[in-house]
Amino acid sequence: MSEALPAVSRPRGWRQALRDAVRSPAELAALLDLPPAVVARAAAPDFPLLVPRSFVARMRKGDPDDPLLRQVLPTAAESERTPGYVPDPVGEHGIGAGGVLKKYRHRALLIATAACPVHCRYCFRRAFPYSSQLASRADFGPAVAALARLDDVREVILSGGDPLSLDNARLERLVARLEALPSVRTVRIHTRFPVMLPERVDAGLLALLRRTRFAKVVVLHCNHPNELDDSVAEAAAALRQTGAILLNQSVLLRGVNDDADALARLSERLFQAGVLPYYLHLLDPVQGAAHFDVPAERGRELVAELRARLPGYLVPRLVREDAGRLSKTLVA
């Protein structure tokens, strides 16, 4: 994968590509030459399928166990009720004000939007109360006011949903309002867009990132090496040229990346694209995702094997999130 020009050009805009995303299990099965039984297992109407066609193009045809497909295809297992798997696995639903969650010292998380470019089946916010916790109301006025009352906040974390679901004009207004807060030094963006729809990294977004006074961190969410193609590498290169630091966090998922070969290849491909592995998350126990769980002990074994195979800077930290704690819990 090679370095790219500062802006990533595509034949279609990202919004059109998102409108054209696959929303039907039957269509997804047809595109991938999957047997009808795969569609028959699809379920979860309360959290419907959504996946961009460019991501589908990276899946293996005819393979119902493809690791990219497993992340996005609804299954009947999501309707099973498993003890300990709850709608609010990390204790977020009642702690926000105006779409601002203050979970960690000197940092605040802003729920910028409910929209995403993909519906990941393990999403820990699939039942999040966006109707009452959304920062984009009134052009972000209540959210910025809430942040202004937290005068110890040095970093604002843009989350969602996916904050890059906002168009460039709205993002620019949000960043401008955040820049008026003197204590804030860093903006961190957690996003699946550069992996799911690399065309989102367009000239307007890049110009916005270059202009801001903030130190910039962009955290990609990539779980498997097959997610990374040349278009993703080009988007990452363009983001780096704005001065942003690029990190990646993955979720450890059964049947997706719970083997050392896949995780090692992921770290190596990320590094080739100029992205450093950051976190490998144990699954948040959200209702409907128990079939993805990988035990913590297996996670420790995998990280130990990665340490034996890779330089230390390519080994992500194995963590979990515990409700009420002031930081991630380091597992390995």
The pLDDT tens digits for 156-167 are 999 999 999 999
Least trusted range by pLDDT, from 68-72, 142-146, 209-213, 214-218: 142-146
- Condensed to tens digits (0 to 9), the pLDDT of residues 141-154 reads 999 999 999 989 99
- Across 72-100, average pLDDT: 88
pLDDT category at 266 given cuts 50, 70, 90 is very high
- Across 293-321, average pLDDT: 98
More confident residue, 39 or 14: 14
- Condensed to tens digits (0 to 9), the pLDDT of residues 172-185 reads 999 999 999 999 99
Question: Could you give the strand order of the β-sheet that contains 100-104, starting from the edge strand earlier in sequence?
Answer: 100-104, 107-111, 155-159, 186-191, 215-221, 245-251, 276-281, 317-320, 329-330
Q: What pTM value is reported for the model?
A: 0.93
pLDDT for 7 equals 43
89 vs 193: CA distance, rounded Å: 24
pLDDT at 1 over 70: no
pLDDT category at 38 given cuts 50, 70, 90 is confident
pLDDT at 120 over 90: yes
pLDDT for 301 equals 98
Mean pLDDT (the chain, rounded): 92
pLDDT category at 262 given cuts 50, 70, 90 is very high
pLDDT category at 203 given cuts 50, 70, 90 is very high
- Across 272-297, average pLDDT: 97
pLDDT category at 11 given cuts 50, 70, 90 is very low
Q: What percentage of residues in the chain have a pLDDT greater than 90? A: 79
